[in-house]
Structure 1
Amino acid sequence: MASTEADSSNATTANTENATSKIIKIQSNDGQIFEIDQGVVEQSSTIKTLSDLMDVGEVPIPLPNVKASILGPIVEFCNHHKNDPKPEPLDDDDDDDPNKDIYEPKRSDDIIEWDQNFIKQFTVAEGTLFDIIMAANYLGIKTLLAVGCKTIANMVRGKSSSEVREMFNISYDPPGEGLNAPNAIEGQAGTVPTTQDANATGPSPQPDPMNQ
């Protein structure tokens, strides 16, 4: 009996190792190929779905929305987290909330140190922080998406609207200036957008009775 249990345990271990050691290739939109194992695949709903649908073999899975400079760090992130235990459902008053995500950090201080150091290599100034967030969303990697979004939330916490605009380089016309100036508004009033060529023959656009 003991021998049978030992054989069963060894078979389970072997199956687990085979699943982890299975290598799949993925390709960035600029042609770079990365090799990942099943532990990484399981963290991306997009890659997992594509690998299930495609007879991959030696053919890499194309990821047209992710460039190599972003895909490489994402593979690093997933390799670091592939042996993490699965998150437990949160036990609070919002258990029935369908929009609640068990992967989302609840506070700014619950992003682990490794993840904090990882996300620091991406910046708003270079646009890479948004690149990593968009790629995580496209690939369906909820743990990385949560870290990226929480990082943005921490950056804007306590900042004024003008500080946030400056931080993210968001242009803004104050009331009475730029596109919000009275003369700009008056100039736009009563106009009828048209793609008709001024030299083309045919009836002209009819005036809008509401503006008469």
Structure 2
Amino acid sequence: MSHQPEVLEMRTSDGVLFNVSLKLAQQMGLTHNWLQTEHGELRSSDDDDANIMPLDRVSSEIFKLVLSWCHAIQGIQRSADEKTRLQQDRDVFDNIIRESNASDATIFELIMAADYLNIEGLLEAGTQHVADVINSCDSVEAIRARFNIMCDSEMDN
């Protein structure tokens, strides 16, 4: 008989250990896959790391934002309507970004973490946020200035 824990230990790339409720962790496709494949049952082992899920591509700073998003999504009544659900995801994302005063670099890391962790709603909300920022720019030069992108001719100098 398989016994799943109520809390999953997760270690970020910078070595910080997080105890995440299983219900919250299951919002992450990567966690779901990890539990179902190699770690369907927690192991009794002398190796303390055997039951810790490694998050090799996510720093603790970014994982805290991921967890904030997961907590917020878990705490709202989800709409059955796809369009409304996408708007809910975007609203939660925008609130987290605003509250954390996240830089563009942090937003991009958060999007990469959402992709790695397989959190579809967070990934869609993050990429839509970036698309909205790009759409608010009135020229290619404004986009380059906003995201600190050098022109090819500037790179040659």
Q: TM-score, normalised by structure 2?
A: 0.76
Tell me, yes or no, if structure 1 residue 165 matches structure 2 residue 130: no
Aligned mate of 1:33, from 17, 41, 57 = 17
Alignment partners' CA distance in 2, 1:132 and 1:90: 23
Question: Hey, which bits of structure 1, 4+ residues long, moved more than 4 A?
Answer: 83-87, 102-105
Query: Could you list the runs of 5+ residues in structure 2 that have no partner in the other structure?
Result: none
| Matching residue of 2:125 | 147
| Matching residue of 2:30 | 46
Instruction: Tell me how large the CA RMSD over aligned residues is.
Output: 2.9
Give me the identity figure in percent: 23
Tell me, yes or no, if structure 1 residue 22 matches structure 2 residue 6: yes
Q: Which structure's relative contact order is higher, taking Cα pairs within 8 Å and 6+ residues apart?
A: 2
Question: Counterpart amino acid of 2:52?
Answer: P
| Matching residue of 1:88 | 80
How far does residue 42 in structure 1 lie from its aligned partner after superposition?
2.1
| Matching residue of 1:134 | 112
Alignment partners' CA distance in 2, 1:117 and 1:149: 15
Alignment partners' CA distance in 2, 1:178 and 1:37: 47
Q: Number of residues paired by the alignment? A: 143
Q: 1:87 to 1:140 in 2, by over 3 A?
A: farther
| Matching residue of 1:208 | none
State the SS of the aligned residue for 1:156: helix
Query: Could you list the runs of 5+ residues in structure 1 that have no partner in the other structure?
Result: 1-18, 92-101, 180-212
Q: Is the 8 A contact 1:25 1:33 kept in 2?
A: yes
**Larger of the two Rg values belongs to structure:** 1
Q: 1:50 to 1:103 in 2, by over 3 A?
A: farther
Question: Counterpart amino acid of 1:132?
Answer: L
State the SS of the aligned residue for 1:46: helix
| Matching residue of 1:119 | 97
Question: Counterpart amino acid of 2:19?
Answer: E
| Matching residue of 1:70 | 62
1:158-187 per-residue CA deviation (whole Å, 9 max, x = no partner) reads: 41100001111111135xx875xxxxxxxx
Whichever structure has more helix as a proportion of its residues is 2
